[in-house]
Amino acid sequence: MKILKKIGIGLFAIIAIILIAALFVSNDFNYEKSITINKPIEQVWENTNSLTDLDKWSPWMEYDPNMKKELTGTDGTIGAKNSWDSDNKNVGKGSQTITKIEAPNLFATNLKFYTPYESEAQGYVKLKSEGNKTVVTWGFNSDMLYPFNLMKLTMNMEEAIGKDFKLGLTKLKKLCENQ
């Protein structure tokens, strides 16, 4: 019986240490990736200023080109919403709503994911002119709830989604430079 009591106290102590450690890890979560496109900002903006344009270079469209999609509102305006539903675990179910447009520098959205797990993020595509070239930065900001924020210490986002962001930006570069 003493052994079970010691094991119970030990498990309780481990759980308590983990929960206390999570108090000291920030909840904010950010990821972004950039690419330089050999075209002027106005031309790149034409491929990033609506939900339909984002779909043209989205890596997730390749995972399931037959996913169910529904666009509500006027695309390219604040409040327009694109919803998707896919059985593919890499795509899942969610929606993306336009929240801010600052032509030709920023296209921001609110992302909601329902499956394979529930979460919410603020996505963005930022454009910066560098002469006849444009630097495109694609990313998102999110909050991780306590105590899940502790996972930040072990997560490798570059490994988890870096290849998808690289694929999407490479597709955008090719799309823009071949126009």
Q: Which helix (H) or strand (E) holds 77?
A: none
The CATH number linked to 139 is 3.30.530.20
- pLDDT at site 145: 66
| pLDDT tens column, 12-23 | 777 766 666 656
Range of the domain at 47: 28-177
pLDDT the model gives residue 157: 66
Q: Is residue 20 part of a domain?
A: no
Instruction: Answer yes or no: is 8 within a domain.
Output: no
**Number of structural domains the chain divides into:** 1
For 159-174, give one letter per residue: b (16+ CB within 10 A) or e: eeeeebbeebbebbbe
Give the pLDDT confidence score for residue 22 in this predicted structure.
Answer: 54
Mean pLDDT value across residues 159-163 = 82
Asked, for residue 19, whether it belongs to a domain, the answer is no
pLDDT of 149 > 60? The answer is: no
Q: What is the pTM of this model?
A: 0.83
Summarize pLDDT for 42-101 with one digit per residue, the tens. Answer: 999 999 999 999 999 999 998 898 999 999 999 999 999 999 999 998 899 999 999 999
* 4 domain-assigned: no
- The structure tokens listed for 50 are 């609506």
Q: Tokens for 85, please give them.
A: 């539903």
> Cα–Cα distance between 38 and 133 in angstroms, integer?
5
Alpha helix segments (H runs only) across 23-105: 41-45, 51-57, 59-63
Distance CA 26, CA 10 (A): 27
The more confident residue out of 28 and 44 is: 44
- Give Cα separations from 174 to 1, 38, 95, 116, 134 (angstroms): 68, 10, 26, 30, 13
Q: Phi and psi for 125 in degrees, rounded to 5?
A: -125, 120
Q: Encode pLDDT of 108-144 as tens digits.
A: 999 999 988 788 999 999 999 999 999 999 999 987 7
40 in a domain, yes or no?
yes
Residue 3 domain flag: no
What does the pLDDT read at residue 148? 66
